[in-house]
Amino acid sequence: MPKMNRGTPKLREFLLSRMKDVFLNTKDSVRELSTFEIPRDRVDRFLVRLTKGFIRYFYPDYDWGNSEFSVRTITPDEESIAKLLTFIGRTKYAERGEGVIRFRYGITDTGLSGVWLYIFYDVAWFLVFHQKPILESAPDADATLSGSLTSSR
């Protein structure tokens, strides 16, 4: 385990309390690795905050104030990738931190919904959806991702 800063005992305690050793089967051998779990509610809150920040950056005129956000974990297997390919071509691509996070994003033409696919370190995949409430005065509004996604920057 890397050396921890002695000035952050709460962080050290938090990480150590969530660490465990696991065995990973590879093609050539079985490797013992140390892992740690982060509470799911913290992950979801972080991803929603990240999405709101990117919305503000990429779509400065978009008001997400009354939008509902939904976070899903994606297993990067063939079935999930096939489903993602149905809409990924209509999204934009960006990355930050030299491979730390890669993401695809877009907002529908109606401006009522959007999707963000985050890939951290090429291992952890998450989808964040956001949708504004459908107003009764606009019954034909398309709040689904079946419409084309708008581009930005």
Nearest partner of 111 among 71, 145, 73, 76, judged by Cα = 145
Residue 71 lies in a domain: yes
Residue 27 lies in a domain: no
Query: Tokens in use for 80?
Result: 């999930």
Residue 28 lies in a domain: no
Residue numbers of the domain that contains 50: 38-150
Q: What is the pLDDT along the chain (153 residues), one digit of tens a residue?
A: 455 555 578 877 877 888 888 887 778 888 888 777 878 888 999 999 999 999 999 999 998 888 999 999 988 888 888 888 887 888 999 999 888 899 999 998 888 899 999 999 888 899 999 999 876 434 444 444 444 444 444
CA dist 91 and 112 (Å) reads 15
CA dist 138 and 86 (Å) reads 27
pLDDT at residue 153 in the model: 46
Residue 46 lies in a domain: yes
Structural domain count of the chain: 1
pTM of the predicted structure, to 2 decimals: 0.69
Tens of pLDDT, residue by residue over 71-108, are 999 888 888 888 888 878 889 999 998 888 999 999 98
Query: Tokens in use for 22?
Result: 């696991």
CB 4 within 8 A of CB 11: yes
Residue 30 lies in a domain: no
Residue 91 lies in a domain: yes
User: Residue 38 carries which side chain, given as an amino acid letter?
Assistant: I
